Structure 1
Amino acid sequence: MDSQRKIETEARIRELRESVDALEAQLAEASNQEREQHEQHELIDQLDTYIDAVDTKVSGLKTFWQVLKQELGRRS
């Protein structure tokens, strides 16, 4: 019976090691996903900043266009 107990214990240890390995793999995957999400959020923030800069530039161009139209209208 002692031999049987040893075999069962070794089998249980293998199962536990497999479970730990699976959990570590899941943790690594979750960590990778979290990192990717963080990087995506940073890219979105950069895109927002760029869009704001473009919007400011377009607004300035619209103002310039209106002033130019007024000036050209006065000269005619």
Structure 2
Amino acid sequence: METTQRQQTESRIRELRQAIEALEQELNKDDDAVKEHAMIDHLDQYIDAVDTKVSSLKAFWQSLKQEWKTR
């Protein structure tokens, strides 16, 4: 009877370890998702900055063309 109880205890410990490993994997997936969202947000900010620079360059180019035409 004692051997059976020990085997059951060991089996339960294995199950708990597997459950903990599964939870850790899920947590890592969540961390990766958070990192991906942060990267996407950063990319959006970068694209906005590039758009602003392009708009500024276009405005500068238009004013430069206008200045050349008046000379």
Aligned-pair Cα RMSD in Å: 1.0
Q: Any gaps of 5 or more consecutive residues in structure 1?
A: none
1:10 maps onto 2:6 in alignment: yes
Aligned to 2:20: 24
1:63 maps onto 2:63 in alignment: no
Aligned equivalent of 1:39, options 20, 35, 59: 35
Percent of aligned pairs with the same amino acid? 38
Aligned length: 71
Q: Supply the distance in 1 between the matched residues of 2:37 and 2:69 (Cα, whole angstroms).
A: 47
Deviation at 1:52, TM superposition (A): 0.2
Q: Any gaps of 5 or more consecutive residues in structure 2?
A: none
For the pair shown, the structure with the greater C-alpha radius of gyration is 1
